[in-house]
Amino acid sequence: MRPDIATHRARRARLLKTMGEGVLILATAPEAIRNRDAHYPYRFDSHFYYLTGFPEPEAVLVLIGARAGKRARQILFCREKNLEREIWDGHRHGPKAARTAFGFDAAYPIGELDKRLPTLLENQPRVCYPFGADAAWDARVMAWINTVRGRARAGVGAPGAITDAHALIDEMRLIKDPHELDLMQHAADISAAGHRAALRVCRPGLGEWQIEAELLRAFRAGGCQAPAYTPIVAGGANACVLHYVSNDRVLADGDLLLIDAGGEYHGYAADITRTFPVNGRFSAAQKDVHEIVLAAQDAAIAATRPGNAWNAPHEAALRVLTQGMIDLKLLAGELDGLLEKEAYKRFYMHRTGHWLGLDVHDAGDYKVAGAWRPLQPGQCLTVEPGFYIRRADDVPPALWDIGIRIEDDVVVTEDGCRVLTEAAPKSVAAIEEAMRDGR
C-alpha cells in the first residue's frame, strides 16, 4: 500500500499546532535480534508510524514549531541508499526519495543526527520527547541539550522544558480518521475470515497448534502482514487461562475451544475472540454459559455510544454476567450486593474492553482528571466479556472447565457504535451451522 502522504502530513501539522513552539524528536523502533545473527521480523514504532507512514528502521522524526519569522518544519532522518545492503536486505528509500514520497520539508542521513540536532535545538523553549521510554535515547537527547548549553556564552539558549511527546500523540490517536477506519475494517474482515476457517477445520483429535496454523494462514493469505499478537488457541481447561499461548494440547471431544486472535493490516490491529465446541455441538451447560456471555456483550455494545462514560459498557456487562452466575447457582445473594462486593471476580476477572488501533492495546488514557473518559465518535475499542469456571468442589461438574469469551471490535458513531468484526459467527446457531457446513 502506498503511503497516504496527505494524511500523515496533516497529522504532523496538527501536532505542530498543538505543540506550539519547540522541537519534537521521535525515533522509530530498533531492529531486534532473535538469536545470534537472526532478527525478529521488523515492526515500526506505532507513534512514529502514525505521524510518518515510514516503515524502515533507523529513522527519526523531528518537528520544529513555528515561531516569530520562522515557519514550522517537518524533517526526517533515515538510512542512506546503499545498493550493496539492498541486495541483502531489500529496498531503502534514502533521504532524497523519502522526502518526496512521505511529504517532508527536508530529509537527512541518520548518521548526521548527532551533528544536526544541537543546532536545531538552539534557542528553542522546549523539547517534546518520550522521556523515560528508553534510557539510551534519554542520554542522547540530554547530550544534545548539554551541547547547546555549552554555547551559552555565545548567546545561545537551550531548551528549558521537556514535554512528553507520547501524551500529545496519544490524544490524537484516540479518534480514528477515515483512512484508519478503512484499514481497521480490512484487518477485521481478514481476521473474521480466519476465525471462520478455524470453525470449518476444527474437530476432536487436532492439536491447538494446527488451529493456530489455519488462523495464521488465513491472516497472511488475506493480506495481513503479521498477527496483531500471539494467538490464544485454548481448548478445555486452557480456556480458563486468560493469556494462554502455548497452543500445544490435543483437542478432546466435548471440550470448548476459545480462540483470541487477530491480524495486523498495514499496522492496524484486529482483536476477535470466539468460543465454540470442538465437536460442533454445544452441551446444555456450555450453551447456557455462552448465552450469558453473549447477552452481556449485547448489553455492553448497546452501552457503547457517544456521551456514555468509558466504564458504561463494563458496568452493563457486569450486571448480566453476575445475574447469570446467580442463575447458575455459582453465586448466592442479591445482584446489587454481589456487584458491590465484586463477588463476580472469581469467574470474571478482567475488564470488558480496551482501545484498539495501531496497537492492540492502543494509546489513550481511560480516565481524565479522575473521571472515566466520555466516549466520542471515532474512538475504536473492543467489547469482550467472559466467563471462566474452573473445576472446584462447589461447582457443578457439568460446568467444570468452561471458559468462554466473546470479543468484537467496534467504532463509536454519532448515534451508537458499529461492529467491525460482525462477519465472525458468534451465536450458538451460527457457530453450529458453520461447523456443520465445514464437515
pLDDT tens across 215-267, in order? 999 999 999 999 999 999 999 999 999 999 999 999 999 999 999 999 999 99
User: 38-70, pLDDT tens digit by residue?
Assistant: 999 999 999 999 999 999 999 999 999 998 888
Q: Which of 405, 408, 409, 432 is catalytic?
A: 405
Residues 283 and 255 in one domain: yes
Residues 273 and 352 in one domain: yes
User: 130-169, pLDDT tens digit by residue?
Assistant: 999 999 999 999 999 999 999 999 999 999 999 999 999 9
Q: Which of 116, 305, 350, 390 is catalytic?
A: 350
Asked about 314 being catalytic, the answer comes back as no
Q: Is 2 or 394 the better-scoring residue by pLDDT?
A: 394
Residues 75 and 213 in one domain: no
Q: pTM value?
A: 0.95
Asked about 42 being catalytic, the answer comes back as no
Asked about 253 being catalytic, the answer comes back as no
CATH classification at residue 148:
3.40.350.10
User: 161-210, pLDDT tens digit by residue?
Assistant: 999 999 999 999 999 999 999 999 999 999 999 999 999 999 999 999 99
Q: Taking 80 as the threshold, does the pLDDT of residue 3 lie above it?
A: no
Structural domains counted in the chain? 2
Asked about 365 being catalytic, the answer comes back as no
Query: Residue 437 — very low, low, confident or very high, per pLDDT cuts 50/70/90?
Result: confident
Burial grade of 377 (CB within 10 A; 0-12, 13-18, 19 or more): middle
- State mean pLDDT over 2-30: 93
Domain endpoint, select from 172, 187, 202: 172
Q: Taking 60 as the threshold, does the pLDDT of residue 14 lie above it?
A: yes
Asked about 93 being catalytic, the answer comes back as no
Q: Taking 90 as the threshold, does the pLDDT of residue 4 lie above it?
A: no
Residues 363 and 246 in one domain: yes
Asked about 350 being catalytic, the answer comes back as yes
Residues 398 and 417 in one domain: yes
Residues 64 and 136 in one domain: yes
% the chain with pLDDT above 70: 99
CA angle 427, 295, 395 (to 5 degrees): 95
Residues 186 and 110 in one domain: no
Q: Which of 212, 264, 271, 408 is catalytic?
A: 271
Asked about 393 being catalytic, the answer comes back as no
Q: Which of 354, 373, 390, 418 is catalytic?
A: 354
Q: Which of 126, 359, 388, 408 is catalytic?
A: 388
Q: Which of 361, 365, 391, 436 is catalytic?
A: 361
The reported pLDDT for the residue numbered 68 is: 80
Residues 241 and 383 in one domain: yes
Q: Which of 34, 36, 37, 439 is catalytic?
A: 37
Asked about 260 being catalytic, the answer comes back as yes
Domain of 53, in residue numbers:
5-172
Domain endpoint, select from 172, 192, 217: 172
Q: Taking 70 as the threshold, does the pLDDT of residue 21 lie above it?
A: yes
Q: Which of 407, 408, 409, 432 is catalytic?
A: 407
Q: Taking 80 as the threshold, does the pLDDT of residue 439 lie above it?
A: no
Asked about 91 being catalytic, the answer comes back as no
Asked about 122 being catalytic, the answer comes back as no
Asked about 361 being catalytic, the answer comes back as yes
Q: Taking 70 as the threshold, does the pLDDT of residue 427 lie above it?
A: yes
Q: Which of 384, 401, 409, 432 is catalytic?
A: 384
Q: Which of 34, 91, 243, 439 is catalytic?
A: 243
Average pLDDT, the chain: 96
